[in-house]
């Protein structure tokens, strides 16, 4: 059996931007994350933020526009290059003493070994499911956060993937525990069990502040065209119900705000 390795998106960053970030699911995810994050008291004043596995930095760029300073890290040089280009086009400083964004091409393992500081807020969105050792990642993330600081963690929800594929009639795929011969390059192949993630973050020394489902309804629509044609209504419903059960547990992704012990 081949040993699992962490995933990089060099070579397909533009495809990722087009198919994920510029789609209705990407727009919805961005709005949900922004709602959750801007409610945090620590973001009511300028804050130093670390974005691990930042990709093209959509959330970080929005936070920078609000006056926060963010360091973006990713293993993909292509992803970071797009983030930098987008920031410059938006007039966000990335060089000089007034820079609000900085970048480094590093894995989480490298970052946890070399970092010389801790942050009050750390973003880790849609990265755990691409890692070879997601449980270890929670320990590494903890080391990068100040005591009393916050981890914004979003991961691919295996329960939701199971439900949606049963509804689609993909019974063999579900019975095989989502194992396929041909991998889909933009779709995470290692969705995470929510119970496992809860155990990992507790063992790593975090406590739960809030839980939000991301795309609780979007992915289950029978008429997929409504994802675009009725986007605003769909977004309003997601924001209204996605922190209430059972909907919070049905999101294709789960967003957790976790506090590190003081």
**Residue 227 belongs to domain with CATH number:** 3.40.50.150
Mean per-residue pLDDT over the chain, rounded: 91
Give the lowest-confidence range in 44-48, 189-193, 237-241: 189-193
Query: What DSSP letter does each residue of 29-94 carry, written as one string?
Result: HHHHHHHHHHTSGGGGS--EEEEET-TT-HHHHHHHHTT-EEEEEES-HHHHHHHHHHHHHTT---
Q: Is residue 219 part of a domain?
A: yes
Q: Is the pLDDT of residue 16 over 70?
A: no
Give domain status of residue 161, yes or no: yes
Residues making up the annotated binding site are 29, 53-54, 74, 125
Picking from 194, 183, 206, the residue whose alpha carbon sits closest to that of residue 251 is 194
Among 14-18, 158-162, 228-232, 257-261, the minimum mean pLDDT is found in: 14-18
**Domain contains 56:** yes
pLDDT tens-digit readout, 83-123: 999 999 999 999 999 999 999 999 999 999 988 899 999 99
When divided into structural domains, the chain yields a total of 1
61 in any annotated domain: yes
- Residue 8 inside a domain? The answer is no
Any residues with CB less than 8 A from the CB of 154 and at least 6 apart, and which? 33, 124, 125, 126, 214, 253, 254, 255, 256
Q: In which domain, by residue range, is 104 found?
A: 13-260
Instruction: Classify residue 191: in a domain, yes or no.
Output: yes
**Measured CA distances, 103 to 71, 76, 97, 208, 215 (Å):** 6, 11, 15, 29, 29
Between 54 and 186, the more confident residue is 54
Does the residue 158 lie in any domain? yes
Find where tokens 């396929």 sit. 180
Residue 3 covered by a domain: no
Annotated binding-site ranges for S-adenosyl-L-methionine: 29, 53-54, 74, 125
Look up tokens 């994050």; give the residue: 37
């Amino acid at each position: 059996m081949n040993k699992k390795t962490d995933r990089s998106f060099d070579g397909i960053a533009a495809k990722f931007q087009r198919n994920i970030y510029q789609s209705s699911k990407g727009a919805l995810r961005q709005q949900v994350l922004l709602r959750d994050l801007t409610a945090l008291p620590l973001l009511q004043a300028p804050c130093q933020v670390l974005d691990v596995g930042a990709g093209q930095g959509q959330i970080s760029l929005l936070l920078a526009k609000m006056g926060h300073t963010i360091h973006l890290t990713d293993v993909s040089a292509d992803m970071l290059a797009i983030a930098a280009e987008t920031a410059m086009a938006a007039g966000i400083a990335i060089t000089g003493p007034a820079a609000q964004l900085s970048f480094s091409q590093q894995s989480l393992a490298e970052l946890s070994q070399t970092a010389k500081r801790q942050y009050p807020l750390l973003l880790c969105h849609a990265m755990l499911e691409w890692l070879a050792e997601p449980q270890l990642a929670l320990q590494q993330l903890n080391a990068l956060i100040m005591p009393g600081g916050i981890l914004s963690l979003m991961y691919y929800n295996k329960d939701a993937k199971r439900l949606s594929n049963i509804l689609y009639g993909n019974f063999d795929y579900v019975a095989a525990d989502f194992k396929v011969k041909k991998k889909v390059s933009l779709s995470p192949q290692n969705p995470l069990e929510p119970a496992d993630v809860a155990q990992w973050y507790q063992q790593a020394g975090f406590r739960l502040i809030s839980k939000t489902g991301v795309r609780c309804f979007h992915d289950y629509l029978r008429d997929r065209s409504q994802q675009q044609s009725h986007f605003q209504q769909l977004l309003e419903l997601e924001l209204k119900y996605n922190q209430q059960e059972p909907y919070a547990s049905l999101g294709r992704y789960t967003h957790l705000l976790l506090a590190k012990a003081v």
